[in-house]
Amino acid sequence: MNGAIVLSAGGTGGHLFPAQALAGELTRRGRRIVVMTDARFANYATSFPGARIETVPSAPLNSVTAPFKIASGIIQAFGKLLRLKPAAVIGFGGYPSVPVMLAASLARVPTAIIEQNAVVGRANRLVMNQVRRVAAAFPIARFAPRDKTKIVLTGNPLRPAVIELWGAPYDAPLPDAPLHLLVFGGSQGARAFSEIVPQAITRLPYDLKRRLRIVQQCRPEDIETVRTIYANAEIRAELQPFFVDLPQRMAEAHLVIGRSGAGTVAELMAIGRPAILVPLPHALDDNQTPNAEILSRAGAGWTVAQSQMSPDSLARMLIEIFAHPDDLARRARAAHALAVPDATEKLADMVDALTRNSA
């Protein structure tokens, strides 16, 4: 495995999807891949065909056991890295990446981290001053490394399903034609949308309600309640706990209501869709608000704090938005204008440069 690239990421999709994209590009360039993370990776193992999988212990940074498990993880990761002799170690954030990245610094292996949000996450903050490069999906709004010259703006790697829909044409809604609304909040954020959005929709004028075609992600325990509200209001809605074809649903939407995680914002930019973004209120360091503001400042969407969103206020907002279809189309173009093309290739180029410079 001499010369392999080690990718270290947290065990959730938000960290592993970008790692998956980079692994695919590096494999096409003839690189061998090792994925180093925690036991949760089992849910995503098939997403890294041909990769060698190594697990190390870790724990959430705010847990009582974190110091002990991270120390154990550093020792185990250090031993694994000495055996693997990788050309570089690349971190994607999440607490499982911390012991691996610290071990890589101790082993003097070339290192870089990928920061998907405009606010550097806590795991990446622990290691960003030790690594050689910081690849940023967006301009860093808070907690930049001391040496800002190490920052490389690459954009956020995207799933193939999103890349296929890059800049998908936006057809502004026509008078008296269907209005397609997509609502999703992720595993942590769908509950609030299940409580607020249906009640807002029922407050809309009849002419708007009969035109709406809603696709909404709901928690399993919320689906029947939400379905009943829409059915009683004679509103057409498709509800699921999870949509495997979410990028396609996004491309078909006239308007999206969602959270503002880094992946969501990057996909809205890539496809080019206007959105009402409601940052997750309890996100660490409020890291979703700066992501949302990138779109809203560019006139590509709207940022609304959850504490300021009620059924009445959202209903008024939707009435105003749908009254101006040309503005929706303009915002779709503004969203796509923010997209960074070839992010995965740029990341792979950075990795290649990192290994060349250390040769």
At 324, the pLDDT band (50, 70, 90 cuts) reads very high
Assign 231 to helix, strand or coil: helix
What DSSP element (H or E) covers 287? none
Answer whether residue 164 shows pLDDT above 70: yes
Q: Rounded mean pLDDT of 147-152?
A: 96
- Provide φ and ψ at 237, rounded to 5°: -145, 140
Answer whether residue 14 shows pLDDT above 60: yes
CA neighbor of 118 nearest in space, from 134, 146, 141? 141
Answer whether residue 16 shows pLDDT above 50: yes
Specify the residue for token string 């080690």: 6
Answer whether residue 11 shows pLDDT above 80: no
Answer whether residue 357 shows pLDDT above 80: no
Q: CA torsion, points 286, 292, 296, 298, in degrees to nearest 10?
A: 110
Residue 1 has what pLDDT?
Answer: 45
Residue 359 has what pLDDT?
Answer: 57
In the chain, the domains with their CATH numbers are: 5-156+341-358 (3.40.50.2000), 179-337 (3.40.50.2000)
Answer whether residue 198 shows pLDDT above 80: yes
CB-count exposure of residue 228 (10 Å: 0-12, 13-18, 19+): exposed
Residue 188 has what pLDDT?
Answer: 60
Percent with pLDDT over 90 in the chain: 82
Residue 37 has what pLDDT?
Answer: 86
Percent with pLDDT over 70 in the chain: 96
Of 158 and 88, which is predicted with more confidence? 88
CA neighbor of 356 nearest in space, from 4, 87, 133? 87
At 70, the pLDDT band (50, 70, 90 cuts) reads very high
Rounded to an integer, what distance in angstroms lies between the CA atom of residue 36 and that of residue 39? 10
HSE, side-chain direction, 13 A CA sphere, residue 315: 15
Answer whether residue 292 shows pLDDT above 50: yes
Question: Residue type at 12?
Answer: T
The answer to whether 109 and 89 are in contact (CB under 8 A) is yes
At 42, the pLDDT band (50, 70, 90 cuts) reads low
What percent helix, strand, coil does the chain show, rounded to 5?
50, 15, 35
At 182, the pLDDT band (50, 70, 90 cuts) reads very high
Calculate the average pLDDT of the chain: 93
* Neighbouring-strand partners of residue 135: 114, 152
The answer to whether 123 and 97 are in contact (CB under 8 A) is yes
Longest dimension (CA), the chain: 68
Q: Rounded mean pLDDT of 228-257?
A: 96
Q: Rounded mean pLDDT of 334-339?
A: 97
The answer to whether 56 and 99 are in contact (CB under 8 A) is yes
The answer to whether 266 and 341 are in contact (CB under 8 A) is no
Residue 346 has what pLDDT?
Answer: 96
The answer to whether 98 and 37 are in contact (CB under 8 A) is no
In terms of average pLDDT, the best of 185-194, 205-214, 283-292 is 205-214
The answer to whether 329 and 303 are in contact (CB under 8 A) is no
- Radius of gyration of the chain, Cα coordinates, nearest whole angstrom: 21
The answer to whether 277 and 258 are in contact (CB under 8 A) is yes
CB proximity list for 340: less than 8 A, separation 6 or greater: 137, 153, 154, 155, 156, 269, 346
Answer whether residue 208 shows pLDDT above 80: yes
CA neighbor of 52 nearest in space, from 64, 37, 66, 67? 37
Distances (CA, A) of 218 to 69, 277, 306: 35, 17, 17
Q: Rounded mean pLDDT of 286-297?
A: 95
Assign 201 to helix, strand or coil: helix
pLDDT digits (tens, 9 = 90+) for 260-281: 999 899 999 999 999 999 999 9
The answer to whether 164 and 351 are in contact (CB under 8 A) is no
The answer to whether 8 and 97 are in contact (CB under 8 A) is yes
**CB 17: neighbour CB atoms within 10 A?**
20
pLDDT digits (tens, 9 = 90+) for 90-145: 999 999 999 999 999 999 999 999 999 999 999 999 999 999 999 999 999 999 99
